[in-house]
Structure 1
Amino acid sequence: MELLAIFLAVLTVIVAISFYYEHPKAKIPPGFRQRLKIHIFHHLFNFVLGLAQLLDKVGITPEVSLLRIIMDGIPPLKEKHLFIKDLRFEKVEVRLYQPKTPTNGQRRGILYFHGGVGLFGSIRAYERTCRYLARNSNSVVVSVGYRLAPEHPYPSQFEDCLTATIHFLRTAQDYGVDPSRIIVCGDSSGGTLSAAVAQALVNRRDLPKLRAQILIYPFLQGVDFNLPSYQQNDGVPVLLRERTLTFGLKYLNEDLSLMPEILKGSHLPEDLQLKYQKWIHSDLIPPEFKTRGYKPSTKHPFSEEVYTRIKALIDTVFAPLIAEDSVIAQLPEAFILTCEYDVLRDDGVLYKKRLEDHGIKVTWCHLQQGFHGTIFLATYSRVVAFQSGNKGLEKIVDFLRLM
């Protein structure tokens, strides 16, 4: 027992030292208020990530295993106000949350797709979030436990979310839900999945239409990693610029050595660059989002090899922002949440513009003090939660109550 304690202590020191020197310090912008808390959160996350990588390298357990355990966290206490049941929608594991309070008529339904870059996250990890939404919006929430990469390669995650959504649309009344009041919702990569599912259903005439889509700081494009938000927030916890692409390539099971060329923008031929510039370009970002600094990126030569190997980066399931106009024009009403201190901020801003350009109603919540992950942390204790996350959750519930 004593030897084990010594081993763990030494391991901790090694990981801490290696991450201190190998990873850049957090670049917290001057305008961010809860600076000490975000610094602590940044170092804890880096430590866990470093330990996961070390355990993977020495062959003890895969990197994603420890990250999944940490993200799952400690389960919350028994819920008094909800009926909670584990089910299967076709072959997809789901957890259903139903308010115990009586209601006149049928409730709205929410399908929640969790974040985690398709690599980690789970029903258990988002237990608090789904309970909160069900209780505070008086909704039936279905948390979708889609399969994770790398064990289940992309696009298995999207296929599971689509399967669960179709099943719920068809059987909603069995759970006291009005089929015309079903909403897809997700954070981060779950926001990506929500957008992709909404797009996949626009031409389905055999199903009820989705009432709305809620996209919480979503990843929406793999075209340009040099937009203003990527430059301004490249070192802001927790989703650093290079970390975003690293996780994305791992999700797609692609070679990380391609990263430098992708970050430079060498992965797209000129014809596609011209096509996507209509929707993804710094000129489309409002001026107020450039005040913290922005330098137009230098154009680099196109690499046919890189393009051939990473075509999934411009698959609309992975990058819903580049869907055709004919699809965008048919999408349901949207709620989009963006955070000022998030590399993905401009993805949401650009998607908002695309939807509005086609007459789609968008409710936009921009958290001036927000950062990537703040909503996930909001349902934990005050020690962990940030003010921006609490505000964002309130805005989401306000939107839901109108649906």
Structure 2
Amino acid sequence: MELCSSLAVRRLVFSGWRPGPAPGVRQEDARLGRVPVRLYRPRGAPRAAVLLFHGGGWIYCGLDSHERICQYIAKESGSLVLSVGYRLAPEHKYPAAYEDCLNATLHFLQHLEHYGVDPARVTVCGDSAGGNLAAAVSQTLAGRSDLPRLRAQILIYPGLQALDFNLPSYQQNRGVPLLFRERAVYYSLQYFQGDTSNLEEVLEGAHIPPDMRLKYRKWVSPDNIPEKFKVRGYELHKPCEFKPEVFETVKRFCEPTLCPLLAEDTVIQQLPESFILTCEYDVLRDDGLLYKKRLEDNGVPVTWFHLEDGFHGIVNLFDYCSLSFPSGKRGLDRVVAFIKGL
């Protein structure tokens, strides 16, 4: 009917239904600088804080879509939860979302006394694209001596690289809802450049020069994926012929603030204790597994929880009308247990 764009309709659908206030949790909307946020305060005086960056492929979701998760974490862990409403693509391309999450985190760390939070108990958390943003923010703040050090990072089925979309999990789960292989590339390109030109070339690996692929092979390689995750099927993929003109348009793909898996060891070594949740039936599973290995290889303590029956987005469906999934709640409860144990 041409009343609005298809993107607007999809965003409305992805926002879901807003549950309203939860018993025992007081919430309020605010702004940290120019970034809109929503605060969730549990009963009592919270000593810990969790900054949550929502998922949605950098183009969907927002403060409303993750309200149930924020309420649950605040109530069950006794932490102050701050949900960040960063700008969305394609209207606001990379690095807009990253910059909003970073600026909100900086503002919060600089005004902790206002929130009554212990400076030693601040954690960043994100799911999917939000996990990407949480990892990027955590890396940026690593080694900063002028701010309180982050206590931990929580990465829920994060997307962490855009070099290889033919890893085992991308092959095995290419047609598994809620995130198809092609959509993973679609979202990355929308965030990065505001359109999906070159989608096929990126899918087939023609966007990365051979020397750069070789440089990052030590970190992004099926060889680093445990064999038990290949039993459902995997064929070594030979990238298509390199296309320099495509690389010129996407060469910032290798920036760690977009692909945290590509950060140098000197940065990885300074990261805080980490929690990584992966799902078996998820194209992003191997991104999480590869980052887990990188963190462990560099001496960073990692708590890993793998949902054998999980798929992408399942934690968001832990309590979503008739679409509730027990394994989603199981994953969220492990996140809460990790926070309480910090």
TM-score (norm 1): 0.83
Whether the 8 Å contact between 1:132 and 1:379 is mirrored in structure 2 is no
Partner AA of 2:8 in structure 1: S
- Most deviating of 68-77 and 135-144: 68-77
Alpha-carbon shift at residue 316 of structure 1 (Å): 1.3
Equivalent residue, structure 2, for 1:178: 118
Q: Which structure 1 residue ranges, 4+ long, deviate > 3 Å from structure 2?
A: none
Alpha-carbon shift at residue 142 of structure 1 (Å): 0.3
Matches within 5 A, 1:44-123: 59-100=2-43, 102-103=44-45, 107-123=47-63
Give the greater-gyration-radius structure (CA): 1
* 2-structure distance, mates of 1:201, 1:127: 26
CA distances 1:279-334 after superposition (whole Å, capped 9, x unpaired)? 01011100000000000002422110010011232221121001111111111110
Cα distance change of structure 1 residues 283 and 125 upon mapping to structure 2, 3 Å threshold: same
Number of residue equivalences: 342
Matches within 5 A, 1:340-351: 340-351=280-291
Equivalent residue, structure 1, for 2:224: 284
Q: Secondary structure at the match of 2:323?
A: coil
Any stretches of 5+ residues in structure 1 without a counterpart? Answer: 1-54
Equivalent residue, structure 2, for 1:384: 323
* 1-structure distance, mates of 2:15, 2:61: 7
Give the % identical residues: 51
Alpha-carbon shift at residue 153 of structure 1 (Å): 2.1
Alpha-carbon shift at residue 348 of structure 1 (Å): 0.1
Cα distance change of structure 1 residues 310 and 118 upon mapping to structure 2, 3 Å threshold: same
* 2-structure distance, mates of 1:384, 1:62: 27
Partner AA of 1:183 in structure 2: T
Matches within 5 A, 1:318-397: 318-381=258-321, 383-397=322-336
Alpha-carbon shift at residue 259 of structure 1 (Å): 1.6
* 2-structure distance, mates of 1:385, 1:346: 25
* 2-structure distance, mates of 1:263, 1:355: 27
Q: Secondary structure at the match of 1:77?
A: coil
Match of 1:300 among 214, 220, 240: 240
* 2-structure distance, mates of 1:242, 1:62: 22
Supply the RMSD in Å over aligned alpha carbons. 1.3
Whether the 8 Å contact between 1:377 and 1:385 is mirrored in structure 2 is yes
Equivalent residue, structure 2, for 1:152: 92
Alpha-carbon shift at residue 165 of structure 1 (Å): 0.5
Partner AA of 1:214 in structure 2: I
Partner AA of 1:67 in structure 2: R
Alpha-carbon shift at residue 203 of structure 1 (Å): 2.9
